[in-house]
Every structure is written in C-alpha cells, then in structure tokens.
Amino acid sequence: MRRFLPDPYIVAILGTVLLASVLPARGPAVSPIAVATKLAIALLFFLHGAKLSREAIVAGATHWRLHLLVLGTTFCLFPLLGLALRGLPAAVLAPSLATGVLFLCCLPSTVQSSIAFTSVARGNVAAAICAASASNLLGIFVTPLLAAITLGARGSGGSSVHAIGDVALQLLLPFAAGQAARVVIREWIGRHGRLVSFVDRGSILLVVYGAFSAAVVEGLWSRVTLGQIAALAIVCAVLLAAVLTITTFGARRLHFSKADEITIVFCSSKKSLASGVPMASILFPAPQVGVMVLPLMLFHQFQLMACALLAQRYAARGQGSV
C-alpha cells in the first residue's frame, strides 16, 4: 500500500499551492519573492552541477543507441503525443490545461528518480546516469526551443533565441559554476546530503508559491474546476501508460538487453519537476505559470507510483544487472 500513497514531497507542494491560494503574495511582497525565486533557481542548478559526477557520465556515454532512444522519446515522442492530446475537445481537456500538458511533454527527464528506479530494478545504472544527465543538459536548450515552436513561448526577450538565452543564463550558468566548484565542495556535499536535499526541494517550493500566487491573483481557481482537474489526471495517466508501453516494447523489438530495457523505460518515461517549474517561470508570464505546471505536478506523482511498482516487478524477476 505504501507504493500507492502520495509522495511526501508532492504533499508539500500541494500544501504550498493551498497556502498560495489562501495567502497569495500581493503588492509590495511580489518583488522580494520574485528576486528570491530567481536566487533559489540559481542555487538549485548550482547544486545539481556540484552533485553530478563527470566520471559517471563518461562511464555510460558510449552506449549511443540507448541514449538516442531515450532522447528521441523525451524530445520527439512526448511532444508528438502532447500535440495529439492538445487536439482533444475542450469538453474533455480545457485548452489552458492542454497547453500545460504540451509544455510537460517538452521537458527533460529526471535525474535522481530515473537513476534510483534503474538501480532498484537492476538495470544499467551507468547508462542511466549518462542518459538522464544528458537529457537535463540538452533540455536547457531544447525545451525552450520546443516550447517556442509548439506553444509560442518567447521568454522575456520576445523571441525563441531570447528564451534559450534566458534559460541558459538562469540555469546553465549556475550549473556550470557548480561543476567548476565540484572539485572544492564535493566532499562537503557528500557530508551534508540532507541539507543539500532541503535546499533543493525548498527552492522548488518557493518557485511554486510565487507561481501560484501570481496565478491566484489573476483568478486561477475561477478558470479551473474540479472536473477539469479530474479529466487532466486521466489524461496524464493515459500519457504515462502510452510512453511506458511504447518504450518497453520498442526496447525489446530493437533487441536491447533486459538491463538496458530497464534503463530505457525509466529514463524515457519521466519528466522533471525540478527543471520544469523553474523553466515555466522563465518562459511564461507569471499569471500563466500556475496553470502550466498543474499537469506536471499530477504527472510527477503518477510517474513515481507507476515506476515504483515497475521497479519492484523487475527486481522480483531477478532480471537485469546492476
């Protein structure tokens, strides 16, 4: 039963959404929160850069067929499915939420959970580290481009080039700084894992609060009903099931080993909450961000529950290798 309980972090995010709905940031409080949010995003990606091992990336970098399949699923298959879902009637999926689903489909994969589930399922962990890391790095450039093509997201500068520049400045630069500082601070990070995790997750909560505050002030909950959220949950579940099915059978038809199949399934089916929320705050006007990340929060919970179950089933079969 524990596998089907909500993730505690999702509960914390939902609590933050509730707080923003009851006590949204208004007036003089908006500017300090906006500045704190940008600093939090920079700190978040600095820590991601500092935690990422270059040796682990090199170890899995040579498996190019696996990486091409993971990246193709993440940045080609997902957006195509998102475009198809955007064509659903408004009575089934509200247009604003359909736009959020398409944004979700443009995002990179997760890092931590992809690697963790691959390890539990006895998959190719080295390749998972490389594939998930490459997805996140490429996502800094590819996601704004896909969002510009499919959604018309232009960033603060008014063009897709500026959107990429905004994301690179606020995400890639801190990430690169973290990589550069890794030589000095990696031992400290290893000793203070809980503190780093607290800062990591706390940064996302701050971004969520700022995003939903702006959306609530603009009338978010008068535009989205409980029925629309229920329909969105069904759409997210169907989207996840489709990708899991396609990647599983695709890996088998392409004659990947069971360990590689596990890596492909877990790295291809995820979408990063840690990257998605900051990117949404950069790419879209503040009042739109809350609606844009609603599908991502639902999908994130579904992917954790489904992949936890799959990982246990893979491990119980004794298939794959560590």
Listed by start position, the domains of the chain span 2-316
**Distance of alpha carbon 230 from alpha carbon 236, whole angstroms:** 10
Greatest mean pLDDT among 90-104, 131-145, 153-167 lies in 90-104
Domain 2-316: assigned CATH number:
1.20.1530.20
- pTM of the full structure: 0.74
- For 141, other C-beta atoms within 10 Å of its C-beta total 13
Residues of the chain above pLDDT 90, percent: 26
Residues of the chain above pLDDT 70, percent: 84
Which residue carries 């959404």 as its tokens?
17
Please report the pLDDT score of residue 320 as a whole number.
41
**Distance of alpha carbon 160 from alpha carbon 141, whole angstroms:** 10
Summary mean pLDDT of the chain: 82
Phi, psi torsion values for 255, nearest 5 degrees: 65, 40
**Distance of alpha carbon 26 from alpha carbon 274, whole angstroms:** 25
Q: What is the pLDDT of residues 268-308, one digit of tens each?
A: 999 988 788 888 888 888 778 888 888 998 898 788 888 88
Please report the pLDDT score of residue 122 as a whole number.
86
Q: Where are the beta strands (DSSP E) in 139-197?
A: none
Please report the pLDDT score of residue 3 as a whole number.
56
pLDDT at 167 over 70: no
C-alpha Rg value of the chain to the nearest Å = 19
| 110 secondary structure, DSSP code | P
**Distance of alpha carbon 174 from alpha carbon 213, whole angstroms:** 26
Name residues whose C-beta falls within 8 Å of residue 241's C-beta, 6 or more positions apart in sequence: 306
pLDDT at 58 over 70: no
Assign 321 a pLDDT band (cuts: 50, 70, 90).
Answer: very low
Assign 262 a pLDDT band (cuts: 50, 70, 90).
Answer: very high
Top pLDDT among 167 and 141 is at: 141
Question: SS3 of 62, please?
Answer: coil
Closest Cα to residue 144, out of 112, 109, 108, 174?
A: 108
